[in-house]
Amino acid sequence: MTNRLLVILILTMVILAGLPSRPLLAQESTSVSGEIRQLGRGNDDRQIVATLAKAPRLAVQLLIDELRPVNETRILASEKRPEAEHVLWSIRALRYLTGGKDFCGQTRHEFDKSEFERNRKYWLYSRHRTCVSFFAMWPSRGTEYVAPQDAQNEIILKWRDWFKDQGASFDYKPLLNPKPEEWLW
Partner 1 sequence: MPFINGKFYMNPAYGRALENARANESTDGTQGGHWVTIDGRHVLIQGRQEAQTPQASPNQLAHLRQVQKRRDEAKAEVGYGETSGIVPEKSADSPNNASPYQRSTWDPASTKNLQDARKNIMDISERNGIVKKSKPDDPNNKIQQSIWQDNLSVAKNSHGDMPGRYFFIRQEGKGPQRPPASAGFGQGKPISEYGPFRNVGGGDVPRGNRTFIDIYDK
- Asked whether the beta carbons of 149 and 132 are under 8 A apart, the reply is no
Q: For strands 104-105 and 143-146, give the pairing.
A: unpaired
| Ordered alpha helix ranges (H), 2-81 | 2-38, 45-52, 56-66
Which among 128, 49, 42, 131 is positioned nearest to 93, based on CA atoms? Answer: 49
CB of 92 vs partner 1, minimal distance in Å: 8
102 touching partner 1, by CB under 8 A: no
- Kindly state whether residue 175 participates in binding partner 1, applying the rule CB under 8 A: no
E strand or H helix at 146: strand 143-146
75: left (phi over 0), alpha (psi -120 to 50) or beta: beta
Q: Which of 70, 88, 97, 146 binds partner 1 (CB under 8 A)?
A: 88
Number of residues that bind partner 1 (CB under 8 A): 29
Q: Kindly indicate which of the ranges 1-9, 18-26, 111-119, 158-166 contains the residues binding partner 1, using the contact rule CB under 8 A.
A: 111-119
In the complex, minimum distance from the CB of residue 150 to partner 1, in angstroms, rounded to a whole number: 24
**What x/- string results for residues 14 through 43 when contact with partner 1 is judged by CB under 8 A?**
------------------------------
Footprint of partner 1 (CB under 8 A): 44-46, 76-78, 85, 88-89, 92, 115-116, 119, 122-123, 126, 137-144, 179-181, 184-185
